[in-house]
Chains A and B, each alone.
Chain A
Amino acid sequence: MSSRDNILAAIGKTKRNDREPSPLPQIPTSDTFNDRLIERFSETLTGVGGQVVRVTDWLDIIQHIEQTYRQVSISPAHRIVTTLPELSAVAEVGWSGLSPHLLADADLAIIGAHFGVAENGAVWLTESLLGHRAAPFICQHLAVVLNASNIVPTMHDAYERIGDAEYGFGLFMAGPSKSADIEQSLVMGAHGPKTMTLFLMV
């Protein structure tokens, strides 16, 4: 017998005939996070190291990037990449067909998000928004654009919204990459981006 068959047979032997298998329970919910969604989301994301910038349109985002990233940049090769055509005036587009390794010198990546979660400040992203799966990890800094009307209260609402959506890769992301492995001192930018800016389009 193969290991597969052996393992399945061994598990089968542990089954008890004298009792019914335990049923799946109802998923508990609460209305704790139902109000002030934008404020809760912003406070929680800020608490885990993200920066929330409220904007009203794409021009606001372009201006913010010009001021924050372009002007302070010392290196002339300062590279900004995006998957959002609306930002092509300040960032490089059309790189998703190339090797993800070529993103190693990206200083800033700007991507869109499906929705945010108020209880933990996370945003839900799937492959179609990323250009490359590696993009939000390999860049030195990350910016995410989220429409303020797309915030759900809890993770239960999040999975209800995802439903049986099809994706090859998806992730909840909350703030920049971080580690507290050295004496519990919190360091931002362990391997992934050192900062995460969220442009909240109100």
Chain B
Amino acid sequence: MNRKKEIQEKVEQALRSLDGLESASANPHLYTRIRVKLDQERTAWSWLANFLSKPMVAIGLVAVVILLNILTITSNNSSADELNDQLVTLAQDYSFQPSNILENGINQP
């Protein structure tokens, strides 16, 4: 019984331990640190913007994009030809040509 009461008292004591708590103080140089962080962010973005806006870099990037587009188009064309060839071979193998159908007289009444 005594033990239970003792624990209860300790619990109450712990719950009261934040009474009269003083506020913690932030770093006195907080503003300077925030300013440095903001400036660093700005510097990083402005460096990127400056770099991208240089005429040589901008022209180079445009050239790369155009080149990539050309490569994509030409590779698509060659693959279309390949596909066409394969279809023709397949049609020939299975005698799918319209001439064959006419020769066999399937469409005739």
Are A and B genuine complex partners? no
